[in-house]
A and B are shown apart, each in its own frame.
Chain A
Amino acid sequence: MTELNREIETYNRLLPELLAQQGKFVLIKGSEQFGTFDSYQDALSAGYQRFQLEPFFVKQIAPAERVSYFTRDLTLLAS
C-alpha cells in the first residue's frame, strides 16, 4: 500500500469541496489541506517551503480516481 494513507483519507474527505477546483493540485499534510495550485511544481514548491523535508502529499483534484495503466508487467514497489 502506501505510507500516505492518512493524507489520502484527508483528500477523499475533502474531495466534495475540492471539486470546485478540479484540475488544480492540492497540498495536504496529515488531516489538513494547505492550498491548491495551478501546477504540480507550484504545489511541490509550496510543500517544501512549508514543511521542508517532512512528508507531505500532492494530488491533482479529479472527480474520480485516475488509474495508470501499464501493458508491460512491472514489479511496482509499495515501499
Chain B
Amino acid sequence: MGPLITVAILPSSPRQAALRAAGLAVPAYTSGTFLVDTGASNTVVDMTLISPLGLAATGAAMCHTPSTGQQAMPFNQYDVMIWIPGASASDPAWIIEALPVMECDLSAQGIKGLIGRDVLDRSILIYNGTAKHFSLAY
C-alpha cells in the first residue's frame, strides 16, 4: 500500500484549552493507520476518527480529487492536534498542536487518513524502495 504510520488525533491545543475553560472534558484521542501520501496536498482524516472528537469546522478549503472532475469543491476543515509516535519508546513523539484537516470516508481503503504535504513539508521523508523501508524525520 505504501508507507504507513500510526497517528493519534485530538482536538487542537487551543480547542483543548477552550474545552477546559468551559469545564468540559477533552475527548479521548482517536488513532489509526495513515498512509504517507506525497500526492495529497493536505492531511485528511477518516470520519470515524473525527466524529468522536466533537469538532466544529473552523475553516474551508477547495479540493480537487480524481472524482471532482474539472472543478475543485469546497470542504470543511477541522483544527486538530496530531501525534505521531517515535520509532521506539525512547524516541520523542512528533506533535503538531494545531493543524487544519479535512474529514473523509476512507472505509473502503483500509486506512484512517493520509499524511499530506502540509505535514511532510515540515519533515524529511526518505523512501528506500530497494531496502523496503522508509524514514520520516522531524
- By a beta-carbon cutoff of 8 Å, the part of chain A in contact with chain B is 1-4, 8, 40-41, 44-45, 47-49, 52-53, 55-59, 65-79
Chain B: minimal CB distance from A41 (Å): 4
Chain B: minimal CB distance from A9 (Å): 11
User: How many residues of chain B have a CB within 8 Å of chain A?
Assistant: 47
Contacts of A72 in B (CB 8 A): 37, 39-40, 65-66, 109, 114
Contact B114 A79 (CB under 8 A): no
Chain A: minimal CB distance from B38 (Å): 9
Residue of B with least CB distance to A44: B14
Q: Say whether, besides A52-B18, A53-B18, A77 and B104 are in contact (CB < 8 Å).
A: yes
Checking A53, A65, A76 against B22 with a beta-carbon cut-off of 8 angstroms, the contacting residue is: A53
Contact B57 A70 (CB under 8 A): no
Residue of B with least CB distance to A48: B18
Q: Does B6 contact A (CB under 8 A)?
A: no
Interface string of B83-105 (1 = CB under 8 A from A): 00000000000000111101111
Contact A70 B65 (CB under 8 A): yes
Contacts of B37 in A (CB 8 A): 70-72
Contact B12 A8 (CB under 8 A): no
Contacts of A66 in B (CB 8 A): 61-62
Contact B66 A41 (CB under 8 A): no
Contacts of A55 in B (CB 8 A): 56-58
CA distance A53 to B27 in the complex (A): 14
Chain A: minimal CB distance from B89 (Å): 28
Residue of B with least CB distance to A46: B14
